[in-house]
Amino acid sequence: MGKKTQHCLLLFLCLSGLVHYSAALVFWTSMVEITYVNSSNATVDKYCECGVYGRNSPLEQASGIATLPRGDPKGCGSDPVYNPNSSHLTWIALVKRGNCTFSEKINAAYRQGAAAVVVYNVDGSGNSTSHMAHSDATEIPAIMIGNSQGMEVVNLVKNGTVVELTITVGSPHGPWMDTYWLYFLSIAFFIVTAASISYFVFISASRLYSLNMHRRTERKLKSEATKAIRRLQVRKLKTGDEETKSDSDMCAVCLESYKAGELVTVLTCEHIFHKACIEPWLLERRTCPMCKCDILKALGVEEETKESLSAESPLEVTVITVTGGEPMYEVPLTDPASPDPERLQHRYDNRAFEGDSAAGRR
């Protein structure tokens, strides 16, 4: 399995876990309808999406007469807590938040026959609500509304007004509304971002290292190509030489015919080119333009270069004799500027190349 496939699989598993966890934190709002007859004998009907179903509440519709707990408005304590009006078949407990758990409030109302429970928030909280948890009370619908809406109904009921409450399921909302989920998303974002940055830094560093190694190898090979060029035979063409007799004999680099007095270089494959044309070519490509013969491999320099790069050590003073009949060239592999005393004992047979190098240095 490739790295990209593994990364995609890991990302899919993470996203699957996040989606599953997100679904568990989705909450539902509640539509709340308040209906009563005012002092002018007119029916007042108010409707708003101002409630929130509890985490463990069944998503069901409920309606009934608003009923307050006796004594303590928070609905805590032993039964009986409520005294519902027997003339009404269904009633909904309207209880204030605080003192005991949500589960205790809901169960107390459920045991006395409430159809649902509406919890209004504490004083000073305005119309804010929270996603209440009540894992021990899951039998009847339970919602929370703001303190302002709750106190409005409480005051009506205390004044003897019969208030009918109807709660219906509203719309779902995502986990981004949950504070803890927001913290989790922030931490996850920073972790993923840090991991991504680290990964790209690692990839960039690896590529930069590879690029530097490639450039180093190229410089080394170019240096070795320079040494290999010094071993090649250089001739000065004369009148009557085979190369000057026919216009069909021409340099494959510049496509010009050979003329008497020109310097030509003979490669190991016996192909001939203008010295000024072939040397820049060999420095960049290190192969014959016609037959692609590798001059480094032909002269045995390529193997020595690989050994020196792997061992990370300087080349030793070595004399190579190009065979194939009588020895033609004997040169050291060390840098010409090296102060090694053994280096001074050898000299180049390729005088023409030495002359060009010296002129370039000047």
User: What CATH number does the domain located at 190-361 have?
Assistant: 3.30.40.10
- Right CATH number for 20-174 from 3.50.30.30, 3.40.640.10, 3.50.50.60, 1.10.3720.10? 3.50.30.30
Please give the Cα distance from 264 to 250 (Å, whole number). 11
Strands (E), 68-161: 91-96, 116-120, 142-145
More confident of the two residues 224 and 267? 267
Question: What 3-state class would DSSP assign to 114?
Answer: coil
- Judge whether 20-174 and 190-361 match in fold: no
* pLDDT tens digits along 192-236: 999 999 999 999 999 999 999 988 888 887 787 787 788 888 888
Query: Cβ-count burial of 57 within 10 angstroms (0-12 exposed, 13-18 middle, 19+ buried)?
Result: buried
Q: Are 264 and 235 in contact (CB under 8 A)?
A: yes
- Using 50, 70 and 90 to split pLDDT, how confident is the model at 86? low
User: Which tens digits make up the pLDDT trace of 107-141?
Assistant: 999 988 899 999 999 999 888 988 899 999 999 99
**Separation of alpha carbons 81 and 43, rounded Å:** 30
Task: Please provide residue 285's backbone torsions phi and psi, each rounded to the nearest 5 degrees.
Answer: -115, -30
Mean pLDDT, residues 40-66: 92
Cα 144–Cα 147–Cα 149 angle in degrees, nearest 5: 85
Average pLDDT over residues 284-294: 86
Please report the pLDDT score of residue 300 as a whole number: 73
- 89 Cβ contact list (under 8 Å, min separation 6): none
Peptide bond into 80 cis (omega under 30): yes
**98-102, 164-168, 184-188: segment of lowest average pLDDT:** 184-188
Q: Can you give the residue ranges of every domain in the chain?
A: 20-174, 190-361
CA distances to 233, 252, 265, 322, 331 from 327, rounded to whole Å, are 12, 28, 17, 6, 11
